[in-house]
Amino acid sequence: MQQKNLLASNMKQGIAIVDYGSQYTQLIARRVRELGVYSEIFAPSSSLDKISSFDIKGVVLSGGPTSVYDSESPKVNSEILSLDVPILGICYGMQTLVNELNGDIERGEKGEYGFAQIKFKGSSPLFKDVKDKLKVWMSHGDRVEGAHKNFRVIAKSDNNIIAAIEHTTKPFYGVQFHPEVTHTQDKNKILSNFLFSISNCNNAWGSGDFIEESVSAIRSSVGDKKVVCGISGGVDSSVMGKLLYMAIGDQCKFIFVDHGLLRKNEAEEVLDSISNGLGLDLSVFDYSDKFFNDLKGVEDPEKKRKIIGKNFIDAFEESTKKMGKFDFLAQGTLYPDVIESGFSGLGKTAKIKSHHNVGGLPSRLKFDLIEPLRDLFKDEVRSIGEMLGIEKSLLLRHPFPGPGLAVRILGEVNRERVAVLQDADSIFIEILKKMGEYDKIWQAFCVLIPINTVGVMGDCRTYEGIIGLRAVVSIDGMTADWYRMPSEVLEQCSSRIVNEVEGVNRVVYDVTSKPPSTIEWE
């Protein structure tokens, strides 16, 4: 099983990002591209020849989960320091840069995680036109204790920890915080300063380039062979399907596997939006009996995900045999799926949860894998979908997990519990749309909590289940804040769900951000 990398790489100039395994590495690339600058991600072990495959105007060293003192921690390739281009080290990237230049890194007794206040010391081109004090996002244990004599400290946190440094003779910079995350104030200004004022990049790259290069790469990779594509009806698979159809037309056939874990009436809606709306040749296969049978008695979320992932692969394999011979399998995998599963393909990231479409394809399958959106984030995919002419109602649809409602049902998954959640979720989304809240929210859904509580309905005692409401705002899904839902909306949701959904007598609202929580409950 071979993955085809369909992200364009023949741009004239851009930024090289060295991946040390951070959850935010691709977010750095996404921010750079958002500012109109091309970027590529490389492993720390990449040779200088590989890194220099395009006109590099600057290098960013990403964060990472390890300590520079760990025996197997990745180091800065000393050849990178000889490229004679600006370098920006972020978090671990800053620490390993300082360590390479003989500075001191201290194992922190007390780390900084979450928001922190930093104050600048003197002036620096990295912080040109940035406020003297900033609220930033920290996530580190170790810290720079003593920089090399040629570095000067240009910012410290309120905890008196070095927050940013600058080389006195070379365009080398380091920041202990994460300028790429939405929580950091003036994040785009800091990155813009590095890209344009320091690295002298131009801002000539955009979504149009991605579409053109992806279509060309798909045609080149596929030739006259055939592709089978898994479709869910969501934004990602719809955009991918449109790209594939633009590139190779009827050489691609589309499969929709109904695992019984969809939202209410979703199977019919997917068939209509894909077949009639996008004009794609979609075949539907119902495997719900097999999924529910294999999930019986399973409560552990990782086991549920693995069972669903295996069944998806088996379903695709069986379905494709019914449809003919295919050489390629296409999937709408996005980068948040990849990094949460611990597969960056470059630096190893910490595993948060498995995704059925990431890293789980067995070698017995006889086709190669195409994932044209693998390096993108949801908002980028929506932008590309808009350029492809896909209807706005589909593009603004909230994300839906591959395992479906199985990861929104805590505990065992069966048809009865799915039906309860479907009814509650349908009411929640209906109210959000009616009250004008849906498009303000990144993702909203219900969770079925396996706890009964005492209630009173019709003067009688009840002992029934709980529905949790979850709504978050985000740009890319990597970080998210809970949505401040108007009380009148919550009131309607609670009243209707308790009165209309059998087996539920209590509704609660989740007010936790990501991090520390994930968006989904499992």
Task: Report which of 222, 225, 199, 239 is spatially closest to residue 331, judged by C-alpha positions.
Answer: 239
Residue 484 has φ and ψ, to the nearest 5°, of -80, 85
Nearest Cα to Cα of residue 343 among 75, 26, 4: 26
Q: Which of 91, 201, 446, 493 is catalytic?
A: 91
In this structure, how many other beta carbons lie within 10 angstroms of the beta carbon of residue 433? 11
Burial of 25 (0-12, 13-18, 19+ CB in 10 A): buried
Single out the catalytic residue among 100, 166, 180, 522.
180
Of 76, 83, 82, nearest in space to 100 by CA: 76
Q: CB-based burial of residue 278 (10 Å sphere; 0-12 exposed, 13-18 middle, 19+ buried)?
A: buried
Contact by Cβ (8 Å): 248, 215: no
Query: Angle formed by the axes of helices 378-387 and 25-34, to 10°?
Result: 40
* Residue 180: active-site member: yes
Measure Cα distances from 453 to 132, 428, 504, 506, 521 in Å: 51, 21, 9, 7, 20
Query: Buried (b) or exposed (e) across 130-154, using 16+ Cβ within 10 A?
Result: beeebebbbbbebbbeebbeebeeb
Q: Both ends of the chain: CA-CA distance in Å?
A: 28
Q: CB count, 10 Å around CB of 92?
A: 29
Q: 95 near 142, Cβ under 8 Å?
A: yes
Reply yes or no: is the peptide bond before residue 74 cis, omega within 30 of 0.
no
Is 371 among the residues known to form the active site? no
Q: Check residue 101 and report its DSSP letter.
A: T
Where residue 11 falls (left for φ over 0; alpha for ψ -120 to 50; beta otherwise) is beta
Q: Which amino acid is at 274?
A: I
Give start and end residues of each alpha helix (H) in 3-162. 25-34, 48-51, 92-100
Choose the catalytic residue: 140, 148, 178, 259: 178
Q: What type of residue is 403?
A: P
The C-alpha atoms of residue 175 and residue 28 are separated, in whole angstroms, by: 13
317 exposed, middle or buried (CB, 10 Å; 0-12, 13-18, 19+)? middle
**Angle value at C-alpha 281, between 277 and 284, nearest 5 degrees:** 95
Q: Which helix (H) or strand (E) holds 422?
A: helix 415-434
Residue 178 annotated among the catalytic residues of the structure = yes
Which residues are known to be catalytic? 91, 178, 180
